[in-house]
A = this chain, B = another copy of it.
């Protein structure tokens, strides 16, 4: 179902997922005079604290989903692992953005890579793996080192393992749970970058500047904006994101992760994966832009004009994981810095507790 008209102030945005992304979406919607209704199964969801209404129920609770759909004007989500059946129920009752195609594409690494290659974008070499014999065939084709990943439900390095020369294939296959998988060839990249883009119901596109992303233990540590890459390469990255969004008839904010490599002196971009939602590598927009990725997503799904993605400052976003956030008093003291804490009651090692955006004057 498509949105019939732009949603006026006081309309209700339904959001599946109650974590920090849902919370920041709700805060951004409130700025525009829109109300949020959060749907999440966890009783202590941080987004519940800032929403006009919430439903605490399982994603397969059909009655709760129908009542939720009746209470909202549009449905969106903060995570890509929304069950297909949930999306299907809601999408029949209310406009759902991003749509079912974007969700299905990004939920399965093999479907995703096939889609990307199909629209002419460079990806790592890849092959589907359905069983141990299939893994042997894939290794014969892709070689080693390579990475074996489950097709579904992986994030932050979970559900994947590296195949080195000495790795026993049976052990690797067991390690990822003997589930449908994809084998990806190694890309000798120099750095990782990403693009945060937004697309409206009307096809309008807005694309933010490109950050360089640094990871630690498979979790994003920092996004540095702008990335130190040639302006033409940055423009190409933005163009790739716009092309992906258009091909999916996408509505909302999309995150596109890319590898940046250099071959024979030329800069090269290889698409790694897409996230059909606001993205951790876009958190810098909250302090360096007038319209953040969260407001941009709300604008897109609500049928509002997209905001200018222009950046007034250079910025380094640093995630605060686990006990990093216990340093809040010193972080709050830093000048030219936007501090964001997520209202999570429990602090666990590696858990995303907040982030800080450190601004410097724009260099160009």
Q: Which residues of the partner chain B approach A8 to less than 8 Å between Cβ atoms?
A: 328
**Number of copies of this chain in the oligomer?**
2
A120 to chain B minimum Cβ distance, whole angstroms, is 32
Query: In the bound complex, do residue A49 and residue B30 qualify as a contact, i.e. CB atoms below 8 Å apart?
Result: yes
Question: What is the 8 Å Cβ interface bit string for chain A, positions 9-42, against chain B (1 contact, 0 not)?
Answer: 1100000000000010011001111110000000
Assess whether B6 is in contact with A35, with CB atoms less than 8 Å apart. no
Residues 134-161 of A, flagged 1 when their CB comes within 8 A of B and 0 if not, give 0000000000000000000000000000
Interface check A290, CB cutoff 8 A: yes
Q: Which residues of B sit under 8 angstroms from A220, Cβ to Cβ?
A: none
Given the known A-B contacts A8-B328, A354-B33, are A337 and B49 also in contact in the complex, defined by CB atoms under 8 Å?
Answer: no
Q: Are B27 and A31 in contact (CB under 8 A)?
A: yes
Q: Are B52 and A49 in contact (CB under 8 A)?
A: yes
A337 touches B290 (CB 8 A): yes
- Please encode chain A, from 344 to 356, with 1 for each CB lying within 8 Å of some chain B CB and 0 for all others: 1100000000100
Q: How far is the CA of A32 from the CA of B335 in the complex (A)?
A: 15
Query: Which residues of chain B come closer than 8 Å to A338, judged between CB atoms?
Result: 290-291
**Contact residues in B for A335 (Cβ distance below 8 Å):** 307-308, 310
| CB-based contact B359/A9 at 8 Å | no
Can you list 20 A-B contacts (CB < 8 A)? A8-B328, A9-B328, A9-B341, A10-B343, A10-B345, A26-B50, A27-B50, A30-B50, A31-B341, A32-B332, A33-B340, A34-B343, A50-B52, A290-B337, A290-B338, A304-B332, A305-B332, A307-B332, A310-B336, A312-B312
What residues of chain A have their CB less than 8 Å away from a CB belonging to chain B? 6, 8-10, 23, 26-27, 30-35, 48-52, 287, 290-291, 299, 304-305, 307-308, 310, 312-313, 325, 328-329, 332-333, 335-345, 354, 359
